[in-house]
Structure formats: C-alpha cells, structure tokens
Amino acid sequence: MSLDITRKLRGYLTSSSAVTTYVPTSDIKVAWVKTEDNFPCITINQVSGNDYGYLGYGTSTAGSKIRREEATIQIDIYSKNSRLETLQIGDEVVKVLISGTCRKESDVESHDDELGIYRKTQTYIHTQFHDD
C-alpha cells in the first residue's frame, strides 16, 4: 500500500498551484534526492507504517474485515537558493496535506554540506481505512 499512499500524496502536492508555483510538478518525486536533481525539489517517501485489524478481523468473512492503515510519510524539501525558500514551500505543503488525510508530526530544518543545499524535513501520519 505504500506506493498507493505516496502516489496519492504526490497527487495532492502536484495539483496545488500554491506548491507548484515554487516547485515544478516534475520535481515533486517519490524518490530520494540525487546530486543531479533540479532544485528546489520535493521528495516523498514512506518511512514506517502500521496496520490495525478491528475486532473480528481474523474471523470475519471477506468484505467485513475492517482495518486501519497508518503510514508515516517523510517529505523533504530541498533548495540551493535559501533557507527562506524551504520555509515558504514547507508552509504550502502543510496547508495541502493537513487538508486531506494527514496530520503533521515533525518539522526539522538543516543544511546538507555535502550537496550544498538547504533541507526541510517534515513527517506526516496518513490514515486510511480498508474493508478487506
């Protein structure tokens, strides 16, 4: 399910003109950043996840097995221009993702000396329910 979740969140971000004003759609990726990437860019990755079966999940017939899936998603925002740019992009990303099925868990800023870029890392919990 992690591929579906990361694709869904990418879809939210690429359909937001507030986000794509800063970062072109082609630079919003489900991937890890590489030195040859365009900057600014956004990467989306699942870093952990949980599934919870509700009462009777193991014994119910198909179609009545309810489970909750939670995925921890890491959003990395990179810029070669400035820290301010990562903050502006991050503010727009928050608005988009908390309007859907996500809640923000953390927000960390750093500078990657090896790549010479500013980095803002946000983590979100995405929750969805399934009736297996």
**CATH number for the domain that contains residue 26:** 3.30.70
pLDDT of residue 62: 66
User: For residue 25, what are the domain limits?
Assistant: 2-48+70-123
DSSP 17-28: HHHHTTS-GGGE
pLDDT of residue 61: 75
pLDDT of residue 51: 86
Structure tokens at 25: 């759609």
Domain-located, residue 62: no
Domain-located, residue 128: no
| Residues of the chain where predicted confidence (pLDDT) is lower than 50 | none
pLDDT of residue 80: 94
Nearest to 73 by CA among 23, 30, 108: 30
Domain-located, residue 39: yes
Q: What are the percentages of helix, strand and coil residues in the chain, rounded to 5? A: 25, 40, 30
- Segment (H or E) for 11: helix 2-14
Domain-located, residue 129: no
pLDDT of residue 129: 83
pLDDT of residue 26: 94
Domain-located, residue 26: yes
- The conformational region for residue 84 under phi > 0 = left, psi -120 to 50 = alpha, else beta, is alpha
Residue 73 forms beta bridges with which residues?
Answer: 46, 124
DSSP 81-117: S-HHHHHHHHHHHHHHHTTTTEEEEEEEEEEETTTTE
pLDDT of residue 53: 84
Domain-located, residue 55: no
